[in-house]
Amino acid sequence: MLNKSRVDFEGVIFDFDNTLVDTASAIREAYKHVFSAISEDFNADINKLIQESENFQKEKMEELALSKVSYSHADWIAPITARLSIELGDKEEKYKQLFYSYVTDNPIFSQDTLTLVKELKISGKKLALLTERDNISGMKMKRIRKTPFGDYFDIIVIAGETTSLRKTDGNPALFFETARNLGISVESILMVGDRPDLDIQGSKEAGMKAILFTGYINQGEFSSHKADFVANSVSDLKDIML
């Protein structure tokens, strides 16, 4: 870990999901919303649907833990219901769209996060938002615009959409490009993200300082490029950066 008194930075790159917004909680609520509809349509036990979704997600996340892949939780709705002998058939797309709409329209975030971003902006720091695209084109930008954060960023980069580069490519090129577009050197940037394999490893390879944020989920520090800091809450982020 670096000593806070030695931290000197001109800009910050924030990840979006499970960093600025609590996407894990939004996904849980979206599943409940969808399974409520499925329960009514198929006369199914909603509690069993929710329990099976938790079991399925746990299995998938363990399977994907060390894999640099993107995935959509909406694609898991049909396999989850199939475990309870519910075949969605041509209704599957309806439930996927219901899931996407709920996550888009109901962002969950802390007012402390908004305060942090505002204070960084007021202090003159350059701010970038760097996030992976969602499965539906344009959805990530819609989700960003549903929050009060978007207007505070000098640039918004949606990997795989506003640029052909992806975090999942496993190289630091995306972080170099983002720093270049911010107009500051990589050495003067702090990266804040929840994924050790995508946010921390890529930014550290580019020469940035990195903060692993575990306030919403903790995926483990399995990257070979350790974060300079671990922040377990927004309060921890404020202590490091302000």
| CA-closest candidate to residue 13, choices 170, 131, 110 | 131
Q: State the pLDDT at residue 221.
A: 66
The reported pLDDT for the residue numbered 219 is 72
H/E segment holding residue 6: none
pLDDT recorded at residue 65: 66
Report the chain's terminal Cα–Cα distance, integer Å.
Answer: 17
pLDDT given for residue 222 in this prediction: 62
Instruction: Give the pLDDT of residue 123.
Output: 96
CB 13 within 8 A of CB 186: no
Cα–Cα separations (whole angstroms), residue 178 to 11, 141, 142? 11, 17, 21
Cα–Cα distance measured from residue 202 to residue 119, given in angstroms and rounded to the nearest whole number: 26
Q: 224, 45 in Cβ contact below 8 A? A: no
Strand-by-strand arrangement of the 209-213 sheet: 155-159, 126-132, 11-14, 189-193, 209-213, 229-231
Predicted local confidence at residue 67, as pLDDT = 65
pLDDT in tens, the chain (242 residues): 444 445 789 999 999 999 999 999 999 999 999 999 999 999 999 999 999 999 999 898 888 765 666 678 999 999 999 999 999 999 999 999 999 999 999 999 999 999 999 999 999 999 999 999 998 999 999 999 999 999 999 999 999 999 999 988 878 999 999 999 999 999 999 999 999 988 999 999 999 999 999 999 877 666 667 899 999 999 999 999 99
Contact 16, 216 (CB under 8 A): no
79 beta partners: none
Q: Which residues contact 38 (CB under 8 A, 6 or more apart)?
A: 44, 46, 49, 81, 86, 88, 95
Per-residue pLDDT, 224: 67
